[in-house]
Structure 1
């Protein structure tokens, strides 16, 4: 028995000895060194002037790379902070280098640096004393270089570009789709720091101004009494309608001019200089109409029948326009727009982008095509169709009802030429498909037009082919586990309720992703996790269901299917 115990003892000691020798051969992870980077250019106490006219100019910073005593890989992070701050714990600007962080240089653009300084509270056109450094990282170790002083002079103006975005705007809340505002320039072509845009606003919505159409933008919002400031609150739309919105960053103010109508007036028309030929708003800052030119004389554009808001052609150009009231400040001469031929013409006023323009094109549409077309329900105007070549179309979806009769007429009051179809709008063998559409014949003639089912319809009439096309969407609530569960997703059918509303009560799982879809033209989502709020078409997956259960889901879509209001109510 003693021999057996001795044997086990010797075996145990042998095991412990081997284990100790193996542990001694493992080098502790902290038993190696990482050197600090050594800064090179720019020189100490140099001044960098950011050029607003070349915002994408790269500003280069170089350093000698750090080394690991065990030759581990090293990555770098560039940091900038106020010269007065003790360290770089909360830098004004931080950026990893290229090549996966391995490059020993970095080239931020002038606008990136300027916007970082703006966000930190430094005024435009000021020279800011800063310091910069580089943080080297290898595995779990970090080493920061010694700092270098540098001064950076900001852009002369807060921003050279300005955009508008928000739930009240035509493009909705997606900042990537923000609408560009026109930067006004002086007679030398230099920025004036004043911006304007012609656009449609939705009642009850809000908006803000952005220096760029992305999430890194400087954001301007309300500061009370018509003033704006950086990081201000969202501005409420003054009401539904089309507006000219002007922002003056010289005094940080904004203002609205309600545009009830743009029209043409002049000797080219039978009504002469005493009457207006109104244009129809198409969206995105564009107005158009078919006009009958009676004489080869001049005409101009004016808003609201107001001679103080008159727009004329820039001399020396073929289609550029300028507001008469702004021409002197912009160093431009102007003239009436010449009409070179009589007869029907399609006239377009384009106030989007950074240059106002117009076009005047001979109308070669079918002779049976009217100048205007209205959808009526009794004496009520449901919609005025927009004209585009041979087509009249509803740019939005019209909420029509099956228990009402509709008519098409070239006159708003129903006294003009009537058009009809024997087919029912919405009648189809596949009413429950995702995007449902059909093309039917129409003709000149009286007779009510029936609707097969309540829905929101987009309608186009082609007068060259005498074909009418209608379309509507059915929506489903897609609900799935984002961790590999897409193929097992639930597709819950939503029921349409007049007007523009989809409802359904469904069993939903906690922490699943959701989206309201009509694959794949409509995909409503939001980054918000609230149970009520706003969604955008193309928005991110909704992740707000945190408790499993039965929910009544409601979606009220905008008539353009770009935005929607949603709610989830636990039953």
Structure 2
């Protein structure tokens, strides 16, 4: 009996020690309220240039977020327009580091995704998100504000030039068409201000190998006749140098969709800005809705944005999501040739 009681006592003591040990282990992983990071930027203002795309634009540093134990913390920089709520921020991962160098190209992509207009300065709020686990709510630093000017990223595709009476017959200063697929098929938009415009196509910014009309009104030949367009307006050009064909269509642009005042039934016209070479409209948009760009009050020529949206419109692309209810200035830029078309929606 004594042995039995002794054994029971031993088991009780062991259980007590085990329980105490568990309680101590549990205390070791008890998380204290996190101490949020303090975010610092290397500069408060930056003007971005495409020529500096690979260079460093800004460096962010922050103090480590502490949780009262040795936690594996991962950090993410979040960007939103000044005054935004970070409801749908643009993010850049920083891993476990407490510093992040952002290149000009990276920052420019962030700004364009936020809908900032190229060439215009705007303010952006930036904060750092600290995460330790998917089951633990992240913590956030206070917001740091920078003033930044993005650029419209230009990709150099093969080009042909369109010199003519609209610009003094100077091929070295002429507007151009571009071939995004490098397949000898070129496209672009040119505004003609005069009632009648004559021009030719040149593969280089000189007169060494120009192409004009072959007498059919749609065919090309070397050193052919001047091509004439009757009527002022904004024209879409398509040129096929392999098969020596060309065509053009006069266009007037608008927006349409469930986000716009006219829904999908009535389009909202845009106005062409001769100085900037872009189409614009300032109008109200609805939340949780969509829109597209289209020409000539018809669906023959329309543009959306293939997902994931990147601010570069595509023919027959996906509907563009409204950024929310409010009044916006919407800009469509088709001035830089195929492959470099762009749009912005700014509140």
TM-score, normalising length: structure 1: 0.31
- Tell me which stretches of 4 or more aligned residues in structure 1 moved more than 4 Å: none
Q: Structure 1: give runs of 5+ residues left out of the alignment.
A: 1-158, 186-190, 325-333, 363-571
How does 1:483-502 map onto structure 2 within 5 Å? none
Cross-structure match for 2:187: 196
Cross-structure match for 1:161: 159
Q: Is 2:328 the counterpart of 1:345?
A: yes
Which whole-Å deviations, capped at 9, do the CAs of 1:417-439 have from their partners, x for residues lacking one?
Answer: xxxxxxxxxxxxxxxxxxxxxxx
Instruction: Please report the RMSD computed on the Cα atoms of aligned residues, expressed in angstroms.
Output: 1.9
Report deviation, 1:312: 0.6
Measure, in 1, the Cα distance between the counterparts of 2:169 and 2:202.
12
SS in 1 for 2:172: helix
Report deviation, 1:285: 4.8
Question: Do the aligned residues in 2 keep the contact of 1:288 with 1:346 (CA within 8 Å)?
Answer: yes
Cross-structure match for 1:269: 260
Cross-structure match for 2:244: 252
Select the structure with the greater relative contact order (CA < 8 A; seq sep ≥ 6): 2
Report deviation, 1:195: 1.0
**By percentage of residues, which structure has more strand?**
1
SS in 1 for 2:264: helix
Measure, in 1, the Cα distance between the counterparts of 2:306 and 2:168.
33
Cross-structure match for 1:237: 229
SS in 2 for 1:263: strand
Measure, in 2, the Cα distance between the counterparts of 1:174 and 1:249.
21
Report deviation, 1:342: 1.6
Please tell me whether Structure 1 or Structure 2 has the larger radius of gyration of its CA atoms.
Answer: 1
How does 1:25-40 map onto structure 2 within 5 Å? none
Q: Is 2:335 the counterpart of 1:360?
A: no
Question: Do the aligned residues in 2 keep the contact of 1:321 with 1:355 (CA within 8 Å)?
Answer: no
SS in 2 for 1:176: helix
Q: Structure 2: give runs of 5+ residues left out of the alignment.
A: 1-156
How does 1:297-312 map onto structure 2 within 5 Å? 297-312=289-304
Report deviation, 1:184: 3.9
TM-score, normalising length: structure 2: 0.51
Cross-structure match for 2:175: 179
How does 1:19-418 map onto structure 2 within 5 Å? 160-167=158-165, 169=166, 171-185=167-181, 191-201=182-192, 202-215=194-207, 217-225=208-216, 226-259=218-251, 261-283=252-274, 285-324=277-316, 334-353=317-336, 354-362=339-347
SS in 1 for 2:305: strand
Measure, in 1, the Cα distance between the counterparts of 2:196 and 2:261.
41
Structure 1 residues 231 and 311: alpha-carbon distance in aligned structure 2, compared to 1, 3 A threshold: same
Which whole-Å deviations, capped at 9, do the CAs of 1:205-262 have from their partners, x for residues lacking one?
Answer: 31011112235x4211111111111111211123222211211112211111121x20
Structure 1 residues 213 and 296: alpha-carbon distance in aligned structure 2, compared to 1, 3 A threshold: farther
Measure, in 2, the Cα distance between the counterparts of 1:206 and 1:214.
17
Report deviation, 1:316: 2.3
